[in-house]
A and B are shown apart, each in its own frame.
Chain A
Amino acid sequence: MRYFYSILSGALFGIGLTVSGMIDTTKVQGWLDVFGDWDPTLAFVMGGAIIPMSIAWMLTKKLGKPLAGGEFPEPTEPFVDRSLIIGSTMFGMGWALVGLCPGPSFASIAINGIGGLVFIAAMTGGMLLAPRLKNYLDAGTA
């Protein structure tokens, strides 16, 4: 059943990204471009997504364990380190340059042509380099 739920979740995620317009790079860049022709759509997408997701987090307390086995993820420590800040800064820069983040890059892979594949290849390269950067940042101040 775990695979069924993975596929169901992926299907909803992919279709939701498409319906919401978040596979359109101009809408993502439009949200970030406050000095240009600002597009508020992303805020509605984020707001819409947070509603069912916050209900789900509340339900985890009642359920105790996930339906298909395993454990719910532990809460994260309320502490911000260099990796989080520097990593998120780099991500934000890349996200703004083309208007693609990881989810939509997969959801629109069928229609983004070579450019979409080049993006995913470069993202994969960045992910292979990430453990080195993270180790370096985490080693400095704990």
Chain B
Amino acid sequence: MEQDWIWGLVGGVMIGTAGAVLLLANGRIMGASGIFGGLIDRSGWSTAKERIAFLIAVMVFPLAIYPLYGSVDTHLTDNYWIIIIAGLLVGLGTRTANGCTSGHGVCGISRFSFRGIMATVVYIVAGGFTISIARHVLGLI
């Protein structure tokens, strides 16, 4: 739809503000894979409560605005095999690379981090190849 880019920009500013709050107030980088991953592999247990508070807020607050949309459809595939493979790759990849779209992308690019910029270029190019092959060559998704 034509107005999608406006809402993208508005939502993007909110995401960036979220990252600004966590950095300026708590001195933390807002990376979803790092905040969650630190709970999973115990590396972040000393700050477990802050991490859990953040994640619960991420899960709960969107519920407040769903009624504005009537129905929200995320169009997630119902092919569980693809979901499992994708989830494994996302978990393994983000923790090996130390970041995902929020940490390397939003927070890293904003501080001109060479690692953040390189990671973002690599995952977007890898994603572009993957969807081109999986969708247009193999017809999987």
Residues of A within 8 A of B (CB): 1-3, 5-27, 29, 32-36, 39-57, 59-60, 63, 65-73, 75-80, 83-103, 105-113, 115-116, 118-131, 133-134, 137
Residue contacts A-B, CB under 8 angstroms, 17 given = A10-B61, A13-B18, A13-B30, A59-B24, A68-B27, A72-B23, A84-B115, A87-B93, A90-B92, A97-B141, A98-B77, A98-B82, A111-B74, A115-B77, A126-B93, A130-B37, A130-B41
Name A's interface SS.
helix
Once bound together, how far apart are the Cα atoms of A50 and B100, in whole Å?
A: 15
Q: Is the CB of B97 within 8 A of A46?
A: no
Contacts of A90 in B (CB 8 A): 89-90, 92-93, 96-97, 126
A-B contact count (CB 8 A): 466
Contacts of A98 in B (CB 8 A): 76-77, 82-83, 86-87, 141
Contacts of A93 in B (CB 8 A): 86, 89, 93, 126-127, 130
Q: Is the CB of A133 within 8 A of B92?
A: yes
Residues of B within 8 A of A (CB): 4-30, 32-33, 36-37, 40-41, 49-51, 53-66, 72-78, 80, 82-98, 100-102, 104-107, 109-111, 113-116, 118-120, 122-128, 130-132, 134-136, 141
Q: A48-B15, A102-B100, A103-B100 are in contact. List 20 more A-B contacts (CB 8 A).
A: A3-B50, A9-B19, A14-B58, A17-B11, A24-B73, A41-B7, A45-B9, A51-B13, A52-B20, A66-B23, A78-B113, A80-B118, A83-B97, A89-B93, A98-B87, A110-B59, A111-B74, A130-B37, A133-B96, A137-B96
A2-B95 contact in complex given A29-B131, A96-B128, A101-B101, C-beta closer than 8 Å: no
Q: Is the CB of B12 within 8 A of A112?
A: no
Once bound together, how far apart are the Cα atoms of A109 and B25, in whole Å?
A: 27
A10-B83 contact in complex given A96-B134, A112-B74, A112-B76, C-beta closer than 8 Å: no
